[in-house]
Chain A
Amino acid sequence: MSNPKKEVLLKIEGLKIQGFTDDVWIDIIKGVDLILHRGEVMGLIGESGAGKSTIGAAAMGYARDGTRIAEGSIEFDGMELTTATQVERRALRGSRIAYVAQSAAASFNPAHKIIDQHTEGPLQYRLRKRMEAQEDAMDLYQRLRLPNPREIGFRYPHQVSGGQLQRAMTAMAMSCRPDLIIFDEPTTALDVTTQIEVLAAIRDIVDQFNTAAIYITHDLAVVAQMADTIKVLLKGEEVEEAATEEMLEAPKKDYTKSLWAVRSFQRPQKARPADGSEAVISVKGVDAAYTGGAKVLDDVSFDVCAGMTVAVVGESGSGKSTTARVITGLLPPSKGEVLFKGEALPPSFRDRSRDQLRQAQMIYQMADTALNPKVRISDVIGRPAEFYSGLTGAALKQRVDELLDLIELEPSQYYNRYPPELSGGQKQRIGIARALAAEPAFIICDEVTSALDQLVAEGILKLLDRLQRDLDLAYMFITHDLATVRSIADEVVVMKNGQVVEQGPKDEMFRPPHHPYTDLLLSSVPEMDPNWLTTLLEERGVDNIGEAARTGQRAP
C-alpha cells in the first residue's frame, strides 16, 4: 500500500455489450479491456456512438434498457459484477461507485431540495445521521467552491445556475466517499467560463479524496486537463490507450491523429471591401426586451458585409440568439432598426415581403428540432424552392438534386428519406440545404456545430466555407466555441449581458490588449496542454475562480 496508485480497482476484460435493434442483438461494445488503479483518472474519448457512456454504465454493472452485457468480466475491487446479484450490485452504486451525469438540471429531482437529495445516499446506507450528512454536504460544497456553502443546499435545483448545479452533483457523488466516480460529459452543456470552475472543482476533489474516476468526454482539451491516462474509442472498439502526455505528444494511430488535427482547419481572413459598399445586414442601435421582461439587448450595432463571416460570441444569456431573433423579425426591437442593403426592414417578420424573408435564412443549432420528422427530405428542401421561386414538377426535382449535390449528399439516396433516418451531421447538412434553397444573401448560423462531434463539425465548417466562396454569402455565426471562431470568422463581435463589449477583425480580437471580458473568454478555452488548467488557475489565483472572477470583471 506504499503506492496506492498501483492497486487495481476496476478491471474490465473482453467486455461485449449488445443492443437490441430490429429483432436482432448487435454488438455495441466489441471486446474492450480496461484497468483502472485506485486514485487514477482515466479519460474515455471518442465521437458519439463510440460506446463511451455504455462502458461508463457497465463499470457500475449496469446495462441500459435494450442492451445487455453479453460477454467479458467486470471486476470491481475483487468483486465480479457480471455474475453478482441485482442486490449486490445495487449496494455498490452510490456508496462505492458514483455517477455524475451530463445534464445536472435533468438529473436532479426538481421537487426536492438539493441537500435532501445529497443526503439520500448516506442515509440509505446508514453511513451518517441526517445532521452529520448535512454538515458533510456543506463541507463538500465549500471544497467545491460553491457560493454560500451553508445555505445553497437548501435551495431547489432550479434556483441555482447550471455550473453550480453540476458542482452540487459532483458533491452528491462524493457524499458516500466512493472509490470510483464516473463523469459522463459533465461540462459539455456548459459555457467555457463556467466549464473552468467545474473542471477545477472536480479535479481538486478527486485529488483530495484519492478517488478513481472515469472521465467521459468528446473534448480532447478537457480530457487533457483531467486524466492521467486516455483511452480512445471508435465504434465500440479501443483504438489506443496511453498516459496523457504521451498520447498528446505522440499519438500512434491514424484515427487519434485525425482527432488531434481537427481544430487545425483555418481559412484566410477576409477584409471588408475597400470601396465602402453597403453592408448586407446592419444592425443599428437595437434595444429589445421580451414581453414584460427586462431589457435583453442594449444598443447593439454591427455590420455584416457580403461574402464575410461575422462571429457573435459570448456565454449563454449574453443576447446572441436574441440578436438573431431581432434580425429575422421574430422579436421586434423596442428601439433601433435592422437594415438590409441599406434599406430598413419592417420590425416584424409578418410585415416583411416574401423577397425580404427570402434574403435572410437561418440554420439552427439542433437539427433534430429544426427538421420536421414527418416530412420527406425532398419536401424539406423542395418547399422553399417551390414557395419562393414557384418551381414545380421536374424543375423542382432538379433543383432539389442540385441542392443535395451542393451539400455533398447523394440525391438518389436521400430524396425519399425522413429526417430521423439520418445522422446528426447529415441532418445539419439538410438544414443548410433548406436555407440555400431560398437563394439568400445572408444566413444566420445559430451554434450549428455545437451539437456535433468534432470531425463532423469540421466537415460542416468546411462546407459552409466552400458555399460562402461559391455563392458569395454573408454569415452571422453565433457560437460560444472560440475554436470555431478562430477557424471560420472574418470579424468578431463579443457580447455580454446584451451589450457589444468589443468588435473588430479577427486578428485584432485574438491579439492583446483585450477588453477584460474578451480576455476571460479567450483564456477560458481549454487548450491541449495538460498543464493549461493548472497554469491558468495560478494566474487567476485559485480563490478568485468562479463567481468572484466573473462579478469582479463585470464591465462598469
Chain B
Amino acid sequence: MLTFVIVYYGVLIAASCAAAYFKQRQAFQLLFSLLLVSMVVGIVGGAAGLRFIAIAACLLAAAAGISYAFREFLVQIAKPSLARELRTAPLTAAFGMFIIFVYAVAAIFAPWIAPFGQAEVIDSAFAPADDKMLLGADQLGRDMFSRLIYAARNTVGLALSATILAFLMGAGAGLWAAVRGGWFDTAFGRVVDILMSIPSLIFALLILSIFGTNLTIIVVVVAIMYAPRVFRLTRAVAGNVVVMDYIEAARLRGEGDWFLIRREILPNTTAPLIAEFGLEFCFVFLLMAGLSFLGLGIQPPTADWGSMVRENATLISFGEITPLIPAAAIALLTVAVNFVVDWMLFRSSGLKER
C-alpha cells in the first residue's frame, strides 16, 4: 500500500514538474491541481481515497483520450466541408458523439452482442455475477447484461420514434402556421396553448390508463405532449424567415405553401431545429423511462431501463449497485446527447470564441 502512495505522488510531482519545464501551461495546471486535491484526499481518506482519486483521474483521462481519437477518426472519414466543422468540436461534443455511437452499435446489433435473450431465464433470482453472466441475474434469473443491451434497442428506439413523430407534427404545423399566418396561425396557437396547459405527466397517465399501455399509444401520447414545444420554436424561427424579401418574391411568383416550406424556409431553420431535436430527445427519453418505472411504459418481459431500475430496486437494500446500472445508462446517454446539442446550439447561435 505504501509503495502505491509513494509511486502515485512521485509520478504526479514528476509529471507536473516536466509540464512546467516544457511550458505546457494547461497540462501543468491540471496535473498540479490534481496533486493538491490528492494531498487533501490522501490525508482525509487515506490510501483508499487516494485510489479512488487515481481511478477517477484515469477514467477521465481515458474518456478524453477516446474522445480525441474519435474526433480525429471522424475528421478523417468525413467530407472536407463537414470535417472542417468537426475539427472545431470541443472534446465534450466528441465524447458525446462517441457515447451515442456506442449506444447505436449496442441497439442495432443487440441480438449478436447479448449472450442471452432478453426474456430467457438462466439462473436463480439475483444470482451474483460470474463468467457466464457479467452483471449477475435479475429478480427472475434473467441475464442482466443481455437485458441492458436489448433495452438500448427498446428504450432508445421508442424514444427516438416518439421524438421524430413529435417533430413531424410540431415542426410541420409550426412551419405551416408561419407561412399561412392570420386566423390559421391563431387557431393553431390556441390549440397548442390548451395542450400546454395540461400537466403532461398526469395527461400521459390518464390516456395510458384509458387506452392501455400499447406501444403505439405510448409513442403517440408522448409525441402529442411534446409537439407543442416544437411548434412554438419552429413557428418563432420560421416567423423570422417568412418576413424576408425572398419569401415575398416566391409568393409573388405564385408558389404554393408546400414549396415555400420545403425550399425556402426549411433550409434556413434546420440548425436550431436539429439542436432542439437533441434536447427534446432527452426529455422524451427521460419521460419514457419514468413511465416505465411507474409501470405504464414498455411492458414486461421486454427489457427497458426504466422498469429494470424498478424491478431490481430491492437489491439496493443489500448494498448492490446492480439497479443503478440501467439508471446510469439513462444518465450517460442524456449527458452525451446534451454535450452534442450544446455544441450545435453554440454553432447555430453564431457566437464565436475570441
A516 part of interface (Cβ distance < 8 Å): no
A interface residue numbers (CB < 8 A to B) = 65-66, 328-330, 349, 352, 354, 357, 361-362, 364, 366, 369-375, 379, 383-384, 387-388, 434, 438
- Expressed in whole angstroms, the Cα–Cα distance for A349 and B268 within the complex equals 25
B320 CB contacts on chain A under 8 angstroms: none
19 pairs from A and B in contact (CB 8 Å cutoff): A329-B252, A330-B248, A330-B252, A349-B251, A357-B254, A362-B249, A366-B245, A369-B245, A372-B246, A372-B264, A372-B267, A372-B268, A373-B268, A374-B267, A375-B263, A383-B250, A383-B253, A387-B255, A388-B253
Complex Cα–Cα for A65 and B250 (A)? 36
Q: Which residues of A contact B267 (CB under 8 A)?
A: 372, 374-375
**Across-interface contacts of A434 in B (CB, < 8 A):** 249
Question: Which of A349, A371, A372, A373 sits near B252, CB closer than 8 Å?
Answer: A349
In the complex the two chains form, is A357's CB within 8 Å of B268's CB? no
What is the minimal beta-carbon distance from B262 to any residue of chain A, in angstroms? 11
Q: Once the chains bind, are B354 and A65 in contact (CB under 8 Å)?
A: yes
Q: From DSSP, what is the main secondary structure of chain B's interface residues?
A: helix
Residue-wise, chain B 31-54 has the 8 Å CB interface mask toward A (1 for contact) of: 000000000000000000000000
A371 proximity list for chain B (CB < 8 A): 246
B contact set with A: CB distance below 8 Å: 244-246, 248-255, 263-264, 267-268, 352, 354
Kindly state the separation between the CA atoms of A330 and B245 in the bound complex, as whole angstroms. 12
The 7 closest A-B pairs by CB, nearest first: A374-B267, A370-B245, A372-B246, A364-B245, A369-B245, A357-B254, A369-B244
Contact across chains for A438 and B248 when beta carbons are under 8 A apart:
no
- In addition to A349-B252, A362-B249, 20 A-B residue pairs with Cβ atoms within 8 Å of each other are A65-B354, A66-B352, A330-B248, A349-B251, A354-B254, A364-B245, A369-B244, A369-B246, A370-B246, A372-B244, A372-B264, A372-B267, A374-B267, A374-B268, A375-B263, A379-B263, A384-B253, A387-B255, A434-B249, A438-B253
Complexed CA–CA distance, A372 and B250 (Å): 10
With A and B bound together, what is the CA distance between A369 and B268 in angstroms? Answer: 12
- Tell whether, in the assembled complex, residue B252 and residue A362 are in contact, meaning their CB atoms are under 8 Å apart: yes
**Is there an interface contact between A370 and B249, defined as CB atoms closer than 8 Å?**
yes
- Chain A proximity of B267: nearest CB distance (Å): 4
Looking at the assembled complex, report how far the CB atom of A407 sits from the nearest CB atom of chain B, in whole angstroms.
16
Q: How far is the CB of A358 from chain B (nearest CB, A)?
A: 8
Q: Which residue of B lies closest to A352 (CB)?
A: B254
Q: Chain B contacts of A388 at CB under 8 A?
A: 253
Q: Which of B249, B255, B263, B264 has the most CB of A within 10 A?
A: B249
Q: What is the minimal beta-carbon distance from B61 to any residue of chain A, in angstroms?
A: 29
Q: Enumerate chain B residues within 8 angstroms of A370, measured Cβ to Cβ.
A: 244-246, 249
Question: Which chain A positions have C-beta within 8 A of B352?
Answer: 66
Q: How far is the CA of A372 from the CA of B268 in the complex (A)?
A: 8
A209 to B264, CA, bound (A): 54
Q: Which residues of A contact B248 (CB under 8 A)?
A: 330
A399 to chain B, nearest CB (A): 16
B266's nearest neighbour on chain A, judged by CB, is A374
Collect the chain B residues with CB atoms within 8 Å of residue A375's CB.
246, 263-264, 267
Would you call A357 and B253 a contact (CB within 8 A)?
yes
Please, how many angstroms separate the alpha-carbon atoms of A374 and B271 in the complex?
12
Query: A369 vs B352: C-alpha distance in the bound complex, in angstroms?
Result: 23
In the assembled complex, the CB of B149 is this many whole angstroms from the nearest CB of chain A, namely 40
Residues of B within 8 A of A372 (CB): 244, 246, 264, 267-268
> Can you name the residue of chain A whose Cβ is closest to the Cβ of B254?
A357
Q: Are B254 and A364 in contact, CB atoms less than 8 angstroms apart?
A: no
CB distance from B354 to the nearest CB of A (A): 7
Q: Which residues of B contact A361 (CB under 8 A)?
A: 252
Shortest C-beta distance, B178 to chain A (Å), equals: 15
A366 to B251, CA, bound (A): 17
**Smallest CB–CB gap between A99 and chain B, Å?**
22
> What's the Cα separation between A379 and B246 when bound, in Å?
13
CB closest residue in chain B, given A22: B84
Q: How far is the CA of A352 from the CA of B252 in the complex (A)?
A: 10
Instruction: Return chain A residues, CB-CB under 8 Å to B249.
Output: 362, 364, 370, 434
- Per the bound structure, the CA–CA distance linking A366 and B354 in Å amounts to 30
Tell me the bound Cα distance from A434 to B252 in angstroms.
Answer: 12
Report the Cα distance A168→B312, complex, angstroms: 72
Query: In the assembled complex, which residues on chain B have CB atoms less than 8 Å from the CB atom of A369?
Result: 244-246
With a cutoff of 8 Å between Cβ atoms, the chain B residues found around residue A354 in the complex are 254
Closest CB in chain B relative to A445 CB, distance in Å? 13
* Bound-state Cα–Cα, A395 to B351, Å: 43
Expressed in whole angstroms, the minimum distance between the Cβ of A409 and any Cβ of chain B is 19
Q: Which residues does chain A contribute within 8 Å of B245, judged by CB atoms?
A: 364, 366, 369-370
In the complex the two chains form, what is the Cα distance from A66 to B351 in whole Å?
A: 13
Which residue of B has the minimal Cβ distance to A66?
A: B352
The answer to whether A387 and B254 touch across the interface, beta carbons within 8 angstroms, is yes
Q: Which of A66, A354, A361, A375 has the most CB of B within 10 A?
A: A375
Kindly list chain A residues whose C-beta atoms are within 8 Å of the C-beta of B255.
387
**CA–CA, A65 and B352, complex, Å:** 10
Instruction: Report Cα–Cα, A349/B250, bound state, in Å.
Output: 12
A373: which B residues are within 8 A, CB to CB? 268
What residues of chain B lie closer than 8 Å to A65, measured between beta carbons? 354
Closest to B267 in A: A374
User: For residue B253, which residues in chain A have a CB less than 8 angstroms away from its CB?
Assistant: 357, 383-384, 387-388, 438
**Complex: A80 Cα to B248 Cα, angstroms:** 52
Taking the closest CB of chain B, its distance from the CB of A367, in whole angstroms, is: 9
CA distance A438 to B250 in the complex (A): 12
Interface centre among B246, B250, B252, B354 (most CB of A within 10 A): B246
Q: What is the CA–CA distance of A387 and B250 in the complex, to the nearest angstrom?
A: 10
Which chain B residue lies CB-closest to A370? Answer: B245
Docked complex Cα distance between A361 and B254 (Å): 12
- A480 to B132: give the CA distance in the assembly, Å: 84
Kindly report which residue of chain A lies nearest to residue B354, judged by CB atoms: A65
What is the chain B residue whose CB lies nearest that of A23? B84
- Closest chain-A Cβ to B79's Cβ sits at a distance in Å of 16
Query: CB-CB < 8 A to B244: which residues of A?
Result: 369-370, 372
Tell me the smallest distance from the CB of B142 to a CB of chain A, in Å: 51
Q: Which residue of A lies closest to B255 (CB)?
A: A387
A270 → B minimal CB distance (Å):
27
Question: Which chain A residue lies CB-closest to B244?
Answer: A369
Measured between beta carbons, the chain B residues less than 8 angstroms from A352 are 254
Q: How far is the CA of A369 from the CA of B253 in the complex (A)?
A: 16
Instruction: Name the B residues within 8 Å of A357 (CB-CB).
Output: 252-254
Task: Give the distance to chain A from B260, nearest Cβ to Cβ, in Å.
Answer: 11
Closest Cβ–Cβ distance, residue A377 to chain B (whole Å): 13
How many angstroms from the CA of A434 to the CA of B250 in the assembled complex? 11
CB distance from B254 to the nearest CB of A (A): 5
Cα separation A375 to B268 with both chains bound (whole Å): 10
Contacts of A366 in B (CB 8 A): 245
Expressed in whole angstroms, the Cα–Cα distance for A236 and B13 within the complex equals 53
A375 to chain B, nearest CB (A): 7
With both chains docked as a complex, state the minimum distance between the C-beta of B257 and any C-beta of chain A, in angstroms: 12
Look across to chain B and name the residue whose beta carbon is closest to the beta carbon of A355. Answer: B254
Q: Which residue of A lies closest to B248 (CB)?
A: A330
List B contacts of A438 (CB < 8 A): 253
Q: How far is the CA of A65 from the CA of B264 in the complex (A)?
A: 32
CB distance from B243 to the nearest CB of A (A): 9
A379 proximity list for chain B (CB < 8 A): 263
Q: Which residues of A contact B251 (CB under 8 A)?
A: 349
- A66 and B255 alpha carbons, distance in the complex (Å): 41
Q: How far is the CB of A148 from chain B (nearest CB, A)?
A: 35
**B227: min CB distance to chain A, Å:** 25
